[in-house]
Chain A
Amino acid sequence: MMSAWLDDPIRARRFAVFSASRRGWWSLWIFAVLFVLSLCAELVANDKPLLVKFDGQYLTPFIQFYTETHFGGEFEAEADYRDPYVAELINEKGWMLFAPVPFSYDTIDYENPGSPPTAPSARHWLGTDDQGRDVLARVIYGFRISVLFGLALTVASSFLGVAIGAVQGYFGGRVDLYGQRFVEVWQGMPQLYMLIIMAAVITPGFWTLLILMTLFAWTQLVGVVRAEFLRVRNFDYVRAARALGVSDGVIMWRHVLPNAMVATMTFMPFILIGSVTTLTSLDFLGFGLPPGSPSLGELLNQGKNNLQAPWLGITGFLTIALMLSLLVFIGEAVRDAFDPRKVVL
């Protein structure tokens, strides 16, 4: 599969340039490992056991719902496995296996000695926040939601931006003129304030926030894609295709878009970085994801409010710095790989 993909000589050269950039290559691997780990966050940090042996049966409480009565308790609600009473019930007839971090992002640890926020300890490796929640668990879930949100926003805004830029550039003339003026007016709107105002009107959630931010982020790619289409539409091979009677849609897709994709691919990692940063800053200001969601911006805000607990601010800072640095390194390597001056055939 990989070797077939690399059959294309341009692609093979680009891949070679990318992998030759050691910093980008290693950043990609580190980022990939971190991202895969965070995708399996439920297996890494969870307040429900991964596996329970009870009464000769194997149970998986982190996916399945079991009531406390199932284990011989009293309530018809979901079992609270961290409750010493429930733990004792289960341990009598079997055992429990917890995730490496036995807390989820919203688990409030009432058993923890001291008043939150508590400093890092053997029980909470990165300490707890001001509501007694495990910081490490929140970082893992926060990393995941940041990256996923960034990716979704990048894909959605790139898709819109490429489509609109393509139409403007390919048809030119009046379409382009009005399109460009609209883009300029749209870009002139103060994005952050618009989002804050909108957040006051509707309750922001993951999807509403994504749609709102896509509305403002799509303009980033229009310029480059439009320029590329304007340039390529007068190439002889596009003329030749028109002389063959090929329709505009097919010409745009087959002949022009591949040219514009180089610019798009070069921009994409940086759009991703921008998206992650925007989400973090909204969360920091309190206009982002709903309260209680694991978010790096919210962690930073807690760090600001609890200067006596430096582990909050330092953890937030280091996580964001690491994530953005990795993405920048990857982005630079991708940019070099698509640089025609470095990839000569």
Chain B
Amino acid sequence: MSDALLHIENLRVQFRGHEQLTDVVRGVNLDIGAGETHALVGESGSGKSVTARALLKLLPESAAVSADAMRFAGQSVLDADAAQLHALRGGGVGMVFQEPMTALNPLHTVEKQIGETLTLHQGLSARRARERTVQMLERVGIENPQLRLGAYPHELSGGQRQRVMIAMALANSPQLLIADEPTTALDVTVEAQILQLLSSLQRETGMAMLLISHDLGVVRRVASTTSVMREGEIVESAPTARLFNQPQHEYTRHLINAEPTGSPAPIADGARELMRAEGVDVNFVLKRSLFGKPTVSLKAVDDVSLTLRAGETLGVVGESGSGKSTLAQSLLRLVPLSAGVVEFDSQRMDSLSAKDLRPLRQDLQIVFQDPFGSLSPRLTVAQLVAEGLAVHRRDLDADARDAKVEAALREVELDPALRHRYPHEFSGGQRQRIAIARALVLQPKVVVLDEPTSALDRSVQAQVLDLLKRLQVQHKLTYLFISHDLKVVRSISHRVMVMQRGRVVEHGDTEAIFTAPEHPYSKTLLAAATDRDLHATDVGV
């Protein structure tokens, strides 16, 4: 396949750490033909992004890159000099990154970001560059491009920013577009739009695309060929439809089967009401007058009421910024309420002082989204898990406390012998288990799960969900489960609440909402989430 647009043979990347070399990519072969969409799938740390960056020589100096051959459009990239590399980056190959907020320079306007690549690579005059920029913005679906030229990245929404990134990458009509997790940071409805945009642009220009993703749904929808990566190697590569229908490698099957399925265990009839919230408002003051009077404020949570029965899971879904997390934190009084009533076990808790609230904290626990951020990096696992015990179980001596910690770790299927290690020695899934153990050790009644699986790989996600379901049955726990991932919510929740801009737009039994949503917003949300699957069957057939 020497006529391929991109030809990589036996690519190896090693990172020099202190005292040792780590193999990140071990012998990857990749061929992408003109106009083809090739997807690279794998879990985090499998070397997908490093492979893509090695193509453009964008890796840090600590990386040693070697390959038997690495050719782009017949030209070797390996021994390209600075001028050739310059022509390659942003010229022949465009790149779209995962997080558009950090990939765009916050101090430059949209015009400058896109115009820069135009003047650099094509030597266009300022006026011509501006015309071309407007064209590009139009093409990526930005409304009123003339007006948007002067906008800074923070003035754009996440989807718009990603569109600007795409416009930047496409400005010099590249032959190959590398899209590194282009939709991971976006909401489902926006994700669907961006994917559509990418495939239509590809059809128009005939460029090839290397799509890097951990999300099988995305890959299945867009890619013509898919390669599965694990631990720096490609374990299977096949046309997408065949790969999904007849996966050859065991790991591919594992990935495909890791999609969350199942439903929650039924709850006992007549379970009592454990927690109730009525008319909860949370306002954030954005501006104050000279005398400290709030003049501009944002209603993050607007008149939300909910009930939680013992042993049930209430799923809260919505896009980012819809107020899900703020609601959860306000129920636990981690964020002050502006109005409303919160009752736990028939006891008003919105009016309690911080001191009177402390005993209640034992019954109300929270698990956060990011297992890297929610564990203090300077404490050992044993110290982390025991922290709540030190507050609420002063009757326990050191040995009894240690026994409790061990039991909690065993409960979340972690080896208690590891409890003297620090969090950074654990993987994402293990860290999330530690966070769950920390909440469980106090034997709480209600656990708020704030996107507990969003930062995890699919296969780890499934394990954590199973664990949560098992613990719920065993300890009769009540969950408030927050997620933007509808599949996950469906597999664990008894009831679902859909939030939009701080308000609850729909509320009901999980199956009812998923099969027959009533509110238009719920419909869009569901359509966006299931859209991929519809397309996938199209491709599959």
Query: Which residues of A approach B to under 8 Å, CB–CB?
Result: 8-10, 13, 16, 235-237, 239-247, 254-255, 258, 344-345
* Residues in A whose Cβ lies below 8 Å from that of B422: 8-9
Q: Which of A16, A236, A344 contacts B368 (CB 8 A)?
A: A236
**A-B interface, 3 closest residue pairs, ranked by CB to CB distance from nearest:** A245-B361, A236-B374, A244-B388
Q: Which of B359, B373, B379, B435 contacts A254 (CB 8 A)?
A: B379
* Residues in B whose Cβ lies below 8 Å from that of A16: 18
Contact A13 B18 (CB under 8 A): yes
Check B46 for interface membership: any CB of A closer than 8 A. no
Contact A254 B376 (CB under 8 A): yes
Chain B 348-386, CB within 8 Å of chain A: the 1/0 string?
000000000111011011101110011110110000000
A246 to B334, CA, bound (A): 12
Check B254 for interface membership: any CB of A closer than 8 A. no
A240 to B374, CA, bound (A): 7
CB distance from A339 to the nearest CB of B (A): 14
Contact A243 B332 (CB under 8 A): yes
Contact A240 B391 (CB under 8 A): no
Given contacts A9-B422, A245-B358, contact A235 B391 (CB under 8 A): no
A9 to B19, CA, bound (A): 14
* Residues in B whose Cβ lies below 8 Å from that of A241: 376, 387
Contact B435 A240 (CB under 8 A): yes
Check B95 for interface membership: any CB of A closer than 8 A. no
CB distance from B157 to the nearest CB of A (A): 23
Question: Of B364, B369, B378, B435, which is in contact with the most chain A CB atoms at under 10 Å from its CB?
Answer: B378
Query: Which residues of B approach A to under 8 Å, CB–CB?
Result: 17-18, 329, 332, 334, 357-359, 361-362, 364-366, 368-370, 373-376, 378-379, 387-388, 390-392, 422, 424, 435, 438, 442
Q: Closest A-chain residue to B357, C-beta based?
A: A245
* Residues in B whose Cβ lies below 8 Å from that of A240: 366, 368, 374-375, 435, 438
A289 to B229, CA, bound (A): 71
A240 to B376, CA, bound (A): 10
CB distance from A174 to the nearest CB of B (A): 9
Given contacts A9-B422, A243-B332, A244-B361, contact A236 B18 (CB under 8 A): no
CB distance from B441 to the nearest CB of A (A): 10
* Residues in A whose Cβ lies below 8 Å from that of B329: 239
CB distance from A241 to the nearest CB of B (A): 7
CB distance from B279 to the nearest CB of A (A): 23
Interface SS, A side: helix
Task: Jot down 20 A-B pairs with beta carbons below 8 A, ordered by A.
Answer: A8-B422, A9-B422, A235-B373, A236-B368, A237-B375, A237-B376, A240-B435, A240-B438, A243-B361, A243-B366, A244-B391, A245-B358, A245-B362, A245-B388, A245-B392, A246-B390, A254-B387, A255-B376, A344-B17, A344-B18
Q: Which of B357, B368, B387 contacts A239 (CB 8 A)?
A: B368
Using A16-B18, A245-B361 as known contacts, list a sample of 12 further A-B pairs with CB atoms less than 8 Å apart, ordered by residue number in A.
A236-B370, A236-B373, A236-B374, A237-B375, A240-B438, A241-B376, A243-B366, A244-B365, A245-B359, A245-B388, A246-B388, A344-B18
Q: Which of B374, B378, B391, B392 contacts A258 (CB 8 A)?
A: B378
A220 to B451, CA, bound (A): 41
A258 to B365, CA, bound (A): 25
Contact A246 B391 (CB under 8 A): yes
CB distance from B27 to the nearest CB of A (A): 26
* Residues in B whose Cβ lies below 8 Å from that of A235: 373
Contact B373 A243 (CB under 8 A): no
Q: Closest A-chain residue to B358, C-beta based?
A: A245
A339 to B379, CA, bound (A): 20
* Residues in A whose Cβ lies below 8 Å from that of B442: 244
CB distance from A165 to the nearest CB of B (A): 19
Q: Closest A-chain residue to B383, C-beta based?
A: A254
CB distance from A294 to the nearest CB of B (A): 43
* Residues in A whose Cβ lies below 8 Å from that of B375: 237, 240
* Residues in B whose Cβ lies below 8 Å from that of A237: 373-376
A241 to B435, CA, bound (A): 11
* Residues in B whose Cβ lies below 8 Å from that of A243: 332, 334, 361, 364-366
A8 to B422, CA, bound (A): 9
Given contacts A13-B18, A239-B334, A258-B378, contact A244 B387 (CB under 8 A): yes
* Residues in A whose Cβ lies below 8 Å from that of B365: 243-244
A10 to B365, CA, bound (A): 30
Q: Closest B-chain residue to A241, C-beta based?
A: B387
* Residues in B whose Cβ lies below 8 Å from that of A254: 376, 379, 387
A254 to B374, CA, bound (A): 14
Q: Which of B369, B370, B373, B438 contacts A244 (CB 8 A)?
A: B438
CB distance from A260 to the nearest CB of B (A): 12
Contact B334 A242 (CB under 8 A): yes
Question: Of A244, A245, A247, which is in contact with the most chain B CB atoms at under 10 Å from its CB?
Answer: A244
Question: Of B373, B387, B392, which is in contact with the most chain A CB atoms at under 10 Å from its CB?
Answer: B387
A246 to B379, CA, bound (A): 15
Q: Closest A-chain residue to B371, C-beta based?
A: A236
CB distance from A249 to the nearest CB of B (A): 12
A9 to B442, CA, bound (A): 30
CB distance from A233 to the nearest CB of B (A): 12
* Residues in B whose Cβ lies below 8 Å from that of A258: 376, 378
Question: Of B374, B376, B379, B387, which is in contact with the most chain A CB atoms at under 10 Å from its CB?
Answer: B376
Q: Closest B-chain residue to A258, C-beta based?
A: B378
Contact A345 B366 (CB under 8 A): no
CB distance from A114 to the nearest CB of B (A): 61
A81 to B442, CA, bound (A): 74
